[in-house]
Amino acid sequence: MRIGFSLYLFLLFSILAQNLSSISNQPPTKPVEFIVGKVLEKTQNNDQLKKENLTYKRIYTVESLNDKKEVVNKDKEEVVLIEKGGRERTLERNGKGNKGNSRVSAPKFDLIKALESLIKFHDFEINRIDMIDNRPYYLISFRPKADRSRTNDDVEEIIVRSEGWMYVDLEKFYISQITVWITRSYSRGWGIFNLTRANVDMAQEELDGIIVMKSIKLIDKYSFFGFDTFEKQTWTYQDYQF
């Protein structure tokens, strides 16, 4: 009798272990459109929570690159303090304390605006579910729709020329990582400005129930009036305080 019961427990735990180990191969329980819509809603709510509760620093650097993507010069470094309520002020610029009210360099990648544009112009696909640090994440890829609408907005015109992927927390619906790159060049002003490369990598993490930015990296290559620029722009975030 004991042998039979032990065998039953062994078989039961074996089945459970197989189910847990194969989580990445299970089909998603929710449609991808619902998931991405929930991500946008959570991101908008979380943005308000950050403004109401957090003070932190943003360090912005610009580095010139050569054709091998090697850094050849550090062109700019700016330390900005974001205070509770969202007010921003520059603390340092190129290693020197800020004097007066110099202009703050805002990030060129806005997650909320990017998500709104992606939902309008892209198709999404859940590739699989991955376990990262013992938490399950959707790996979702996206690419432009074949029959997209025209737009007169510069940001949207760049977005509709882009594709990429993102990791979304399965339970809390926030983006931990997103990578986006353009697949077609973008010009304006009869070719005066021509963007041929733009790669964005963004990472977030959870801090006491609020999702905070870790870093944004943008590598872009463009020409303006015939002068070429190949650079890496980085925004890193630190010293979060409630």
Structural domains counted in the chain = 1
DSSP 8-state secondary structure symbol assigned to residue 204: E
User: What is the predicted pLDDT for the residue at 51?
Assistant: 94
| Residue 24 included in any domain | no
| Residue 114 included in any domain | yes
pLDDT tens per residue, the chain (242 residues)?
444 545 444 444 444 444 444 444 444 456 899 999 999 999 999 999 999 999 999 999 999 999 988 999 999 999 999 999 989 999 999 888 765 556 777 788 899 999 999 999 999 999 999 999 999 999 999 999 987 666 777 888 889 999 999 999 999 999 999 999 999 999 988 889 999 999 999 999 999 999 999 999 999 999 999 899 999 999 999 999 99
User: What is the predicted pLDDT for the residue at 135?
Assistant: 93
| Residue 226 included in any domain | yes
| Residue 73 included in any domain | no
User: What is the predicted pLDDT for the residue at 100?
Assistant: 55
User: What is the predicted pLDDT for the residue at 155?
Assistant: 82
| Residue 81 included in any domain | no
Q: Which domain holds residue 118?
A: 30-53+107-241
| Residue 216 included in any domain | yes
User: What is the predicted pLDDT for the residue at 24?
Assistant: 44
Q: Report whether 214 contacts 236 (CB < 8 A).
A: yes
| Residue 64 included in any domain | no
| Residue 207 included in any domain | yes
| Per-state percent for the chain, helix, strand, coil, to nearest 5 | 25, 50, 25
Dump strand ranges (E) for 94-226.
96-97, 122-132, 135-144, 162-169, 175-182, 186-188, 193-207, 210-224
